[in-house]
Amino acid sequence: MGRIAHNLNLAIGTYRKFTPKEKIYLVAGCGKQLTYPAAAKDLYYSQHFQACRRYVEEQESRWYILSPLHQVINPETIIKPYDKSPYSLSHQERILWAQQVAKSLIQVASPEIEFVFLTGKLYRQEVTPILQANGYETKVPMQHLAIGQQLAWIKKELEQEKQLVLNI
C-alpha cells in the first residue's frame, strides 16, 4: 500500500509539472483615455495598452486591468475617464493600493492560478510579494524591457502564435 501511495504521489507531481497552469493576465490601465465613459477595455487607447489587450485576448485567458483609481477592473466594466497614475500616489498610498489589488485578485482566483503581469514596475512591485506570500505564482515576461522593447516583444509573440496556428 505504501508503494502505491508513493507512485501515485509521483504521478500527480509529474502531471502538475507538465500541465500548464491556468493564467490570469494583468494589464496596466494607463496612457490615453477616451473622453467619455466606456468599457474599461475600450477606455484606454494607448498603443501599449492596445498591444497588451490584443496579446491577452489571443491567449483566451481571463484578464483584468489594474487601475490606480479602481484597483482591479473587469475589462467589460463601464468606467469614466480619470486622471490618476501610480506616480501620483505616495509610497504609502501605493502600499494600500497594492493590498486592495491583491485582496481582489485572491477573491477571484485559486492558488493554482498563475498571475502574469503585463505592467510597469509601479503596478506590480508591491502586489507580487503579497500574492506570492499567499501561495500564488507570478510571472513578469517583459520585466526588464523598455516600452519600445515591450511592444516589439508583444508583436513577436503574436506573430509566433499565428505561425503555430498555420503550421498545424
Q: What is the CATH number of the domain that holds 130?
A: 3.40.50
pLDDT at 146: 87
Domain membership of residue 129 (yes or no) is yes
Q: Buried b / exposed e across 61-90, counting CB within 10 Å, b at 16+? A: ebbbbbbbebbbbebebebeeeeebbeebe
Q: What is the domain range of residue 36?
A: 20-167
Domain membership of residue 130 (yes or no) is yes
Average pLDDT over the chain reads 88
Q: State pLDDT tens for residues 23-34.
A: 999 999 988 999
Q: For the chain, what is the domain count?
A: 1
Domain membership of residue 38 (yes or no) is yes
pLDDT at 81: 95
pLDDT at 91: 93
Domain membership of residue 106 (yes or no) is yes
Taking the C-alpha atoms of residue 47 and residue 30, their distance in angstroms, rounded to an integer, is: 10
Domain membership of residue 100 (yes or no) is yes
Domain membership of residue 11 (yes or no) is no
Neighbouring C-beta atoms of residue 161, cutoff 10 Å: 13
Domain membership of residue 104 (yes or no) is yes
Q: Which residues of the chain have pLDDT under 70?
A: 1-2, 5-20, 161-168
Domain membership of residue 81 (yes or no) is yes
